[in-house]
Chain A
Amino acid sequence: MLGSLLSDDLPRSRLLAAALVAIVAALALAPFLFPGAAAINTAAKICIFIVLVASYDLLIGYTGIVSFAHTMFFGIGAYGVGLGLYSFGATWPVLFVGLLVALVAGIALALLIGLMSLRVRAIFFAMITLAVASAFMILATQFSEFTGGEDGRSFKVPELLRPATKFLDAPVLGVDINGRLAAYYLVFASAAALFLLALRIVNSPFGRVLQAIRENDMRAEALGYRVVYFRTVATLIAAAMAVAAGALSALWLRYTGPDTTLSFAIMLDILLMVVIGGMGTMYGAVIGASLFILAQNYLQRLMGLAAEALAGVPVLPHLVHPDRWLLWLGVLFVLSVYYFPSGIVGRLRGRK
């Protein structure tokens, strides 16, 4: 049962297994364990980014394709659902049609980029994705009548997912059983399903060929694998998953805009999460996304506490002042790459 759910790709490290169980349990029970809007937002963001990072790892970690267009597909998903709900009303059919349109657009765009450029050297492919993603971001901000421009669009979600929708009159364990809770569990369940799907794909015969291509594309070709076909299909799958993650993001935030989905800052975050978690391991996406987003959201607060505690001591309070949180995030990143070049998961699995 567990083997078939995890596609026979078990964590193979007790510590990793424990960490994964802890993360999954925390996310599954987040609304009850961590009350408050900030905590639940963080949990939903982790769920969404696990999917986004896993789909990116399918490209960079498993197939060895460096793409900078991943946030573009994330954005296509968010805008597809978001603009649909904004323009045609907050109903389920609109939501699904928006998702479908986004999936078709995302896959078509990925196919176009793939066929045009996967035959060329990796560096050119990276440059082309960068160019296309930049063009897309400019389009999204310039077509402001349609997309809301820099400000993006806020919209309503279907009634079932609205905070005002109450399922029970009385709170359970101090938590209101409302549409917001339903929305969280929709995000959580979708993310879990998409992650397990990605795990199955990398452990399929197809996924094994992707690893062979990453290792030595010329040898893979000499065995009879048409490398362009495999690279293209991998690109399409990753794009489709990013679109789905974008749709979840739009549903959760009830907002879509360039800064939340399309920006290169997010692309960079995804890259860091993949590297911190461990390239070429799907579990790395879970660990990387969780750690990174927790640090992003709570490091500042933690440092504020530290600065208060150290008040009166010379120099130190300035070092841990909340305004320096990016510095410390950078230090943590450098240390983690230095000590775990194969990522946290690579390190944990390597120890055996």
Chain B
Amino acid sequence: MSVPVLETRDLTIRFGGHVAVDAVSCAFRAGTLTAIVGPNGAGKTTYFNLISGQLAASAGAVLLDGEDITRLGAAGRATRGIGRAFQITNLFPNLTVIENVRLAVQARADNSRHLWSRWSRHVEWIARAERALEEVNLIDQRETIAAALPHGDKRKLEVAIMMALEPHVFMFDEPTAGMSVDEVPVILDLIHKLKAHGDKTILLVEHKMDVVRSLADRIIVLHNGQLVADGEPAAVIASPIVQEAYLGQAPGRKPEAAHG
């Protein structure tokens, strides 16, 4: 089999005595959307932070296209094609919506460090940023200051920033959290479209099981920092360990509510 796009080997992080992510080994292949589920505090976001470089691993390795990137910082991993949309909205608050996205486009360009050319003359960056805003239905808010956006639009902007990076690996951390019901389809459509490309590697942390069912090709389950299940969505959801660790605790109720 070919080399997986992304792989973690015994990836571990300890905070003092607490092991937040415990020797997680997992390979992610192109054209696959993997949903990562588990109760709150299971280490899903921490696992994401270890992959995209916000946190440095205590042990283990992260491989991108077979190359060890464990020692790279977040910037190095981003330029190699790992894109991240954060769970807690993480924008440039006092810049406009278009500028937030344009900065992501610029990051991909060779001349992103130019001191002498004028940013306003790089119209191709602006055009690409506008396309990303159109993809998430945010183009009408083009000139709004990011901090002034309603919550749902901030979530969309968060996703648009990642889309503008045009990464190989897309990491969505609860992209629809806190969105109103009528806003959610925009994001889900976008992920569906990404999947339709057939060659993207997509990781999705999501609590809403209906979303997971409709999108995931594969589900992995984290519990207390450990990988406890991995496989086809139907099989994983039905497995006793998942029923016990995560889904079984209150059928029909959202885990957020259960953990309040």
Contact = CB atoms under 8 A, between A and B. Distances in A.
Q: Do A and B bind each other?
A: yes
Interface of A: 4, 7-8, 200-201, 203-209, 211-212, 215-216, 218-227, 230
A219 B115 contact: no
B114 A208 contact: no
8 contacts: A8-B118, A204-B116, A205-B114, A211-B92, A215-B92, A218-B54, A225-B107, A227-B75
B154 interface: no
B144 interface: no
B79 interface: yes
A236 to B, nearest CB: 11
B214 interface: no
Interface in B191-220: none
A230 B108 CA distance: 16
B72 to A, nearest CB: 11
B111 A205 contact: yes
A4 B121 CA distance: 10
Contact of B74 (A201, A204, A211, A222): A222
Interface of B: 52-54, 73-76, 78-79, 84, 86, 90-95, 99, 102-104, 106-109, 111-122, 161, 165
B165 A223 contact: yes
Nearest to A230: B113
Contacts of A208: 99, 102-103, 106, 119
A207 B76 CA distance: 20
B78 to A, nearest CB: 4
A201 B52 contact: no
Nearest to A6: B118
A3 to B, nearest CB: 9
A333 to B, nearest CB: 24
B7 to A, nearest CB: 21
Nearest to B99: A208
Contacts of B115: 200-201, 204, 206-207
Given A221-B75, A222-B78, A223-B165, A204 B114 contact: yes
User: Which of A200, A215, A224, A227 has the most CB atoms of chain B within a 10 A radius of its CB?
Assistant: A224
B103 A216 contact: no
A216 B118 contact: no
Contacts of B117: 204-205
Contacts of A203: 118-120
B95 A215 contact: yes
B95 to A, nearest CB: 6
Contacts of B107: 223-225
Q: Is the interface of A mostly helix, strand, loop or mixed?
A: helix
Nearest to B93: A215
Contacts, number: 99
Contacts of A224: 75-76, 78-79, 107-108, 165
A8 B99 CA distance: 16
Nearest to A224: B78
Contact of B119 (A205, A216, A219, A230): A205
B112 A205 contact: yes
B118 A219 contact: no
Contacts of B75: 221-227
Contact of B92 (A8, A204, A212): A212
B161 A212 contact: no
Nearest to A4: B118
Contacts of B121: 8
Contact of A222 (B90, B95, B99, B118): B90
A204 B113 CA distance: 8
B143 to A, nearest CB: 12
B106 A205 contact: yes
User: Which of A4, A206, A218 has the most CB atoms of chain B within a 10 A radius of its CB?
Assistant: A206
A204 B115 CA distance: 5
A215 B119 contact: no
Nearest to B103: A212
A90 B46 CA distance: 64
A216 B103 CA distance: 12
Contacts of B74: 218, 221-222
Given A218-B90, A222-B75, 19 more contacts: A8-B118, A8-B120, A8-B121, A203-B120, A204-B118, A206-B113, A208-B103, A215-B92, A215-B95, A216-B91, A216-B93, A219-B86, A220-B103, A221-B75, A222-B86, A223-B161, A223-B165, A224-B78, A226-B75
Contacts of A4: 118
Contacts of B103: 208-209, 212, 220, 223
Contacts of A209: 103, 106, 112-113
A219 B99 CA distance: 13
A95 B128 CA distance: 49
User: Which of A4, A207, A219 has the most CB atoms of chain B within a 10 A radius of its CB?
Assistant: A219
A208 B115 CA distance: 10
Contacts of B95: 211-212, 215
Contacts of B78: 221-224
B90 A216 contact: yes
A16 to B, nearest CB: 19
A220 B94 CA distance: 14
